[in-house]
Structure 1
């Protein structure tokens, strides 16, 4: 089994696929819902309209996409259309690699060369020339009977695993993750963007760390460009979604950043930091809430 899936729950999903009775276990899995099918419409000829499932492994592929949708944070952090098209392109890449080298004549040498170039990268976007000249059914994403569940599904899992290191998000931090603070080591290899602020927020001192909730003040902090592979560590630190919750919030710079926001139920009795800056936590500006 591929041992590169280091980020839960992808490792668990890979283990499940490797089980001998996997196909029996997921036999009752429903096919893709409308949203999952619809994202592929502009990738294929009109008469296909969706990623074609032509084998008994269709349920297995559907099961995997559902797991990636419901058991990972990809659809929370990435545009869903981008995410699904990226995975569909991984399926196409697998299909293309499975085509016979002798070329039966079903695919012209020109088309084969074009597709080889298009499928080399991880980007889910296809060129205008390929949109104008749709591929034959042989390389339009059809899952054939000869495809093995392990080969096909591990290909999709490997593509999802690459997202952890190839995709980045902008993170706004305002407490122990800032420079000079106790947990900044988690961001030591992240790209520092600069300072920023969030409006309509109030900051409270919980002792070793702060918490912000919606309010009437301004929250000050720092921004970082981080790979998705850091998110599991940050989720553990912040006890997401129980103590803090990840949210996309617009900053005063006009950029939307990922922020860990607290819950009002956790701040009764905690002093408010009126300035909105965690670095002022020892100043006389801190005061208990009314």
Structure 2
């Protein structure tokens, strides 16, 4: 979609999907640099527009003992450094209206967590920054109902909006993906992203750490491209088993390149270059 051109600039490629990828949380500078260098190199080769993602702070952890970040300003400064070093947009999530202006000084896209997608004050505060706003569809919300999130941001004067599908609650400890939500949310006139890794979470585990099914990442991603997703969201880490957040559902970094190669071939097979698709 044309609004993506202002985000990606020279990276913009209307004939391919875009990728939002990085570790779940800012752990340290070395990790961010390792992931950003690897993923940006792959994306340049495959002509995939790339957004680097990491949370500067994790506010929605299951256990009080879970790692939450290295400090707000410290984390945001590292994200800004990644964007400047690799010349890519960067994104992070916010968890309150008060965080919007602070985070907007460092990142290009403000991500609204799924649990907060109905929170009007957060949506309006994010919209007021003028940055791109990526709203994750709540696990409890239909694709149709996400039009109200879009309307709130648009009414605040911001047209730079994305919606992200991340699965629907199924029982207490599982999620399922309803791929009807991709074309439904695209009908709201905004780019739609498939959050591949979070849709494979197994939340609310009694041990206090969210589980996951990373072996299904390829399946979810391929189906998303085939059903028209404009972008993919994939959290990745060199050593997920020792990641400080969401290791159970992240993709190991060395597995990303062959997956993206497959996904580019699927995109080329399904969509004719130069043709706009609804």
TM-score w.r.t. the length of structure 1 is 0.21
Structure with greater Cα Rg = 1
